[in-house]
Amino acid sequence: MMTRLVNQNAYRSAGAAEGCSDRPVAFTVLTPTFNRGHTLERVYRSLCRQSCRDFEWLVVDDGSTDNTRVLIEGWQQEAPFAIRYIWQPNRHKKAAFNNGVLHARGEWIVALDSDDDLDQDALKKMGEIWSEIASADRERYVGITGLCVRPDGCIIGDRFPRDVMDATSLDMRFRHHVDGEKFGCLRTAVLRQFPFREDVAGFVPEDTVWNAIARAGYLTRWVNQVFRVYHESPDALVRGGVSASNATGLWLAAYEAIENNVAWFWYQPLSFLAAAARYTRFSLHMRRFACRRPAGLRLTHILSRLLVIVMASLGMALYLCDRLRAARSDKREWSSPDDAAGGISRSRDVAPALSQATIRNAREGRD
């Protein structure tokens, strides 16, 4: 109850500070953040360059102790668009995202991380693409998704088979074999029906929400247009391998794949076999850290159970490799405490078969 009151007070004070009304907008650019004052300016500058102005920037601060508030208050005075700031005690990115969705004024939510930036015409393009969908069909859609590029302009991951396609996110991944970082906007009304689980400690994979929306039958319009520039910074990686704060989330991603998405098994069986190995791998890590398994999550499909049995040995081997890697890392850090770069590079090995977005967001409370 206290957290909810804090959020409501922050919501009111932010609105008063920027002097804006409660008028609806087309887009809410939602940025959950935690101690990211050193990268937030990149987001702000990209929003200032947007050719579409029918949006607000909603920053949900998950308990930062740096200069985030000061920066936002300064930008509120000069920005050509509405900026709202909500502060909450640290409850991880999942809770910050849920809080932002709850308070969003936009019909669409554009979830922009605190270290990335938008193509200058991204919001304009999204609006134009939405207008091309017949009004009678729009309730069937959850969003519009396009491509991401690195700062050098290289496309990340796969392009879509056609320049314009309508499909669920699960069909795009498994039937059409499209992988890699993607980005777009999602209808606020739909997101409010599918909040992130907050009963799981630490990191919760984004795929648990996107997959649930897909299984409900919502379509996405996929377009081969660039919407976001993806910046990979060292502190956006998982540090130190599997930990107590990400073990449950990594297990949840594996459970989600083999239990809830098993209907797509025959399109990519190897992907499901790998997920089954990760199920055992991270189950053992959860036992090691005494992590509580989320209530009500059991394997109910015969195929799901069979996959876990078949891949159990590999899962155990991966777990032992994790332990060995961690022991070697600890030994190196003990002998060379300044070897920070080694710790960062090793973090990429946490879950090699997980998506880039999942790896990137398996953070120990950073945002």
| Residue 239 clears pLDDT 60, i.e. is over it | no
130 with 50, same domain? yes
Do residue 143 and residue 195 come from a single domain? Answer: yes
Q: Is it the case that residue 259 has pLDDT exceeding 90?
A: yes
Of residues 239 and 181, more confidently modeled: 181
Task: Give the chain's length.
Answer: 367
11 and 118 assigned to the same domain: yes
Residues 149 and 284 in one domain: no
The DSSP output letter for 295 is T
- The domain tally of the chain equals 2
Last residue within a domain, chosen from 210, 234, 258: 234
Question: Tokens representing 357?
Answer: 């977005």
Q: Does residue 367 form part of some domain?
A: no
Asked which of 200, 234, 268 is the last residue of a domain, the reply is 234
- Band (pLDDT 50/70/90 cuts) for residue 22 is confident
Say if 323 falls within a structural domain: yes
Q: Please give the pLDDT value at position 11.
A: 35
Are residues 248 and 210 both part of a single domain? no
Residue 312 and residue 337 share a domain = yes
Residues 15 and 136 grouped into a single domain: yes
Both 177 and 271 in one domain: the answer is no
Beta bridge pairs of residue 31: 59
What value does the mean pLDDT of the chain take? 85
Are the C-beta atoms of 267 and 170 separated by less than 8 Å?
no
* CATH classification of the domain holding 122: 3.90.550.10
Instruction: Give DSSP secondary structure letters for 150-196.
Output: -TTSPBPSPPPSSSEEEE-HHHHHHTS---S-EEEEEEHHHHTTSPP
What DSSP character marks residue 49?
A: T
Answer yes or no: do 197 and 338 share one domain: no
> Is residue 280 a part of any domain in this protein?
yes
Residue 229 is assigned to a structural domain of this protein: yes
**Residue 3 pLDDT exceeds 90:** no
If pLDDT is split at 50, 70 and 90, which confidence band does 338 have? very low
The two structure tokens encoding residue 246: 């990400």
In sequence order, the 6+-apart residues with CB closer than 8 A to the CB of 282 are: 242, 247, 248, 250, 251, 254
Integer Cα distance of 236 and 56 in angstroms:
25
Residue with tokens 């990149």, as numbered in its chain: 42
Examine the pLDDT at 18 and tell me if it is beyond 70.
no
- Pull the structure tokens for residue 10: 């922050």
192-205 mean pLDDT: 92
Q: Residue 321's CB: how many other CB atoms inside 10 A?
A: 12
Higher pLDDT, 275 or 12: 275
Please check whether residue 366 lies inside any domain of the structure: no
- The answer to whether residue 358 is domain-embedded is no
pLDDT of 23 reads: 77
Residue 198 shares a structural domain with residue 311: no
Give the model's confidence band at 353: pLDDT under 50 very low, under 70 low, under 90 confident, else very high. Answer: very low
Residues 162 and 305 in one domain: no
Amino acid type, 335: S
Model pLDDT for residues 52-67, shown as the tens digit of each residue:
999 999 999 999 999 9
Query: What are the residues whose beta carbons fall under 8 Å from the beta carbon of 340, sequence distance 6 or more?
Result: none
Which among 97, 105, 127 is positioned nearest to 57, based on CA atoms? Answer: 105
Average pLDDT over residues 80-93: 95
Q: For residue range 300-323, list pLDDT tens digits in order.
A: 999 999 999 999 999 999 999 999
Q: Is a pLDDT exceeding 70 seen at residue 360?
A: no
Helices (H), the chain: 2-18, 37-48, 68-78, 92-103, 122-131, 169-174, 188-191, 207-215, 247-255, 269-289, 302-335, 340-346, 356-361
Q: What percent of the chain stands above pLDDT 90?
A: 74
**pLDDT single digits (tens) 120-174:** 999 999 999 999 999 999 999 999 999 999 999 999 999 999 999 999 999 999 9
Mean pLDDT score, 284-307: 94
Residue 266: domain span: 239-349
Same domain, 138 and 193: yes
**Which domain-ending residue is among 188, 214, 234?**
234
Whether 363 is in a domain gets the answer no
Is the residue at 341 inside a domain?
Answer: yes
Please state the rounded mean pLDDT for residues 185-206: 94
Of all residues in the chain, the percent with pLDDT exceeding 70 is: 82
Contact 238, 362 (CB under 8 A): yes
